[in-house]
């Protein structure tokens, strides 16, 4: 074993790192310990019963001795110790692919720190597809999601974007829990980006995973002109759609529409040639030609300062500006000596005056 000595902490005041391949396994006396990152004070530690003479690190949280494979310092019950290896980051032995679906812990019971078999996966051909869809993988015969085999047509299976996949039979939506079939034909599918698809030039689909909303469908009168502003915002002819929903103000001008702050549904401010919008509602007092966002829910034009959809009175509009809080103890100021802290609140923000000393 290539030993690296470190002397920190209390009980582990002088311990030896077993190998440069991992900062998780240490030797003290004649005992091996699993200590995540070498920090037992914050992350805990596990005293191991490993054979010190044959013990070696595989990589990261994986190690072995003459009898066992260790994961998180725990001997593994289901792996073949003689043929176990890491194929990239994938744990395999001669017959199985393994995964860990628990919560990693240096102090929890070893019965909860066990690698489990990915049912039906071939260790020689198994690869992950996490760069396209998290938790998706495949081997020579099957696709897997969350380590469970998918009942899809393997030969025709195709990833469309982060939210949708298809095979020759049907369209599927990708959720955190599974890949679920949808009742749509798949003859003609246009992929707009990682969020949106259009079916047969007529139906726009978007998946909203939060609040149980699911797949949102919008019927499109036409698709002559399509423009993507960001991954959540798309302009299709005279429709503005954000997170799969039509813009709330129906008279919005799609041709000149733009997001002024944030991304899509996370934006307070947007605008077109005629209006400034706060949370998709027109702000009649705001001038589109001189309007600028200062910080999140705070903005101004040539005549007014706005905090959300309300005009904020007091500061000098012309000189009112946001400042670098790393340099001063406030968020906004003007040339007349007014200073304010920014405080978020539900649906917007408020400005708190800094008392003059």
Identify the pLDDT of residue 112: 97
Q: What is the pLDDT of residue 265?
A: 87
The answer on pLDDT for 9 being more than 50 is: no
Backbone phi and psi for residue 74, each to the nearest 5 degrees, phi listed first: -105, 135
Q: What angle do CA 102, 106, 108 make, to 5 degrees?
A: 60
If pLDDT is split at 50, 70 and 90, which confidence band does 1 have? very low
Model pLDDT for residues 201-247, shown as the tens digit of each residue: 999 999 999 888 999 999 999 999 999 999 999 999 999 999 999 99
pLDDT, one tens digit per residue, over 73-126 is: 999 999 999 999 999 999 999 999 999 999 999 999 999 999 999 999 999 999
Contact 122, 97 (CB under 8 A): yes
Within 8 A by CB and 6+ apart from 297, the residues are 268, 307, 308, 344, 348, 349
Query: What's the pLDDT tens digit per position in 27-48?
Result: 999 999 999 999 988 899 999 9
Instruction: Enter the pTM of the model.
Output: 0.84
pLDDT digits (tens, 9 = 90+) for 128-143: 999 999 999 999 999 9
Q: What is the DSSP code string of 279-337?
A: TTEE-TT--TTT-EEEETTEEE-SS-EEETTEE--SS-TTT-EE--TTTSS-SEE-TTS
Q: How confident is the model at residue 193 (pLDDT cuts 50, 70, 90)?
A: very high
pLDDT of residue 27: 96
H/E element, 92: strand 90-92
Inform me whether the pLDDT recorded for 327 exceeds 60: yes
Q: Say how far apart CA 72 and CA 107 lie, in whole Å.
A: 9
Task: Say yes or no to pLDDT of 4 above 90.
Answer: no
Element (H, E) at 52: none
Asked which of 12-16, 235-239, 249-253, 333-337 is least confident by mean pLDDT, the reply is: 12-16
Q: State percent of the chain over pLDDT 70.
A: 96
Question: How far is it, in rounded angstroms, from Cα 315 to Cα 338?
Answer: 6
Q: Cβ atoms within 10 A of the Cβ of 38, count? A: 20
Examine the pLDDT at 198 and tell me if it is beyond 50.
Answer: yes
Task: Report helix, strand and coil shares of the chain as percent, to nearest 5.
Answer: 5, 40, 55
Which tens digits make up the pLDDT trace of 331-350? 999 999 999 999 999 888 99
With left for phi above 0 and alpha for psi between -120 and 50, is residue 29 left, alpha or beta? Answer: left
């Amino acid at each position: 074993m290539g030993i690296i000595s470190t002397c920190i902490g209390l009980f582990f005041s002088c311990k030896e790192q077993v190998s440069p391949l991992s900062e998780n396994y240490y030797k003290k006396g004649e005992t091996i310990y699993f200590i995540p990152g070498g920090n037992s004070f914050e992350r805990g530690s596990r005293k191991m019963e490993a054979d010190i003479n044959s013990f070696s690190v595989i990589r990261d949280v994986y190690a072995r001795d003459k009898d066992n494979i260790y994961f998180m310092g725990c001997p593994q019950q289901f792996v073949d110790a003689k043929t176990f290896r890491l194929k990239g980051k994938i744990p395999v032995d001669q017959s199985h692919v393994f995964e860990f679906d628990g919560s990693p812990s240096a102090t929890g019971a070893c019965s909860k720190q066990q690698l489990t078999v990915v049912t039906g996966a071939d260790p020689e051909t198994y690869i992950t597809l996490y760069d396209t869809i998290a938790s998706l993988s495949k081997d020579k015969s099957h696709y897997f999601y969350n380590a469970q085999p998918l009942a899809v047509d393997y030969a025709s299976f195709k990833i469309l974007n982060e939210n949708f996949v298809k095979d020759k039979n049907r369209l599927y939506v990708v959720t955190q829990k599974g890949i679920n079939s949808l009742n749509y034909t798949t003859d003609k599918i246009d992929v707009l980006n990682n969020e949106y698809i259009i079916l047969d030039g007529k139906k726009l689909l978007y998946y909203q995973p939060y609040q149980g909303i699911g797949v949102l469908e919008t019927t499109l009168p036409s698709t002559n002109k399509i423009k993507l502003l960001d991954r959540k915002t798309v302009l299709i002819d005279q429709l503005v759609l954000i997170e799969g929903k039509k813009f709330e103000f129906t008279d919005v001008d799609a041709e000149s529409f733009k997001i002024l702050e944030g991304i899509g549904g996370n934006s307070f401010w947007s605008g077109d040639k005629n209006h400034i919008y706060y949370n998709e509602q027109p702000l009649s007092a705001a001038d589109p030609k001189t309007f600028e966002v200062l910080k999140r829910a705070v903005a101004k034009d040539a005549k007014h300062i706005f905090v959300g959809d309300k005009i904020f009175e007091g500061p000098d509009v012309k000189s009112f500006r946001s400042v670098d809080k790393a340099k001063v103890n406030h968020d906004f100021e003007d040339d007349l000596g007014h200073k304010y802290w920014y405080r978020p609140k539900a649906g917007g923000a408020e400005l708190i005056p800094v008392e003059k000393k």
